[in-house]
Amino acid sequence: MAETDPVVEVGPVAHGGHCVARLDGQVVFVRHALPGEVVQIHVTERSRKFLRADAIRVLEPSPDRVERPCPLSGPGLCGGCDFQHVSAEGQLTLLTDVVREQLQRLAGLKWSGRVEAVGPLLDWRTRVVWSVAENGMAGLRRHRSHDVLPIPSCPIAHPDLPDVTEQTWDEPRVEAIVSSTGQRLLATDATIGDRLEAEVDGVVASDGTVRAGTGTLVERVHGRDFRVSGSGFWQVHPDAATTLVDAVTAAADVRPGDRVLDLYAGAGLFSAFLAPACAPGELVSVEGNRRASADARENLADLSNASTVHAPVERALARGTLGARADVVVLDPPRTGAKDAVAAIAALEPRRIVYVACDPAALARDLATFAKLGYRLDSLRGFALFPMTHHVECVASLARD
Q: Is 235 annotated as a binding residue?
A: yes
Please state the φ and ψ torsions of residue 307, each to the nearest 5 degrees. Answer: -135, 160
User: SS3 for 366?
Assistant: helix
Residue 332 is assigned to a ligand binding site: yes
> CB burial class (10 A; 0-12, 13-18, 19+) of residue 379?
middle
Is 258 known as a binding-site position? Answer: no
- Count CB atoms within 10 A of the CB of residue 149: 18
Edge-first strand listing for the sheet containing 116-117: 116-117, 375-384, 393-400, 352-357, 328-331, 259-263, 282-287, 306-310
3-state percent breakdown (helix, strand, coil) of the chain, nearest 5: 20, 35, 45
Are 283 and 274 contacting, i.e. CB atoms less than 8 angstroms apart? yes
Residues marked as catalytic: 358
Please spell the DSSP secondary structure of 133-172, one letter per residue: -TTSBEEEEBTTS-PEEE-S--TTB-TTSPP-TTSB-SSS
Rounded to an integer, what distance in angstroms lies between the CA atom of residue 33 and that of residue 153? 24
**Residue whose C-alpha is closest to residue 167's, from 130, 194, 121, 142:** 130
For residue 145, the tally of other CB atoms under 10 A from its CB is: 11
Known binding-site residue numbers for S-adenosyl-L-methionine: 235, 264, 287, 332
Known binding-site residue numbers: 235, 264, 287, 332
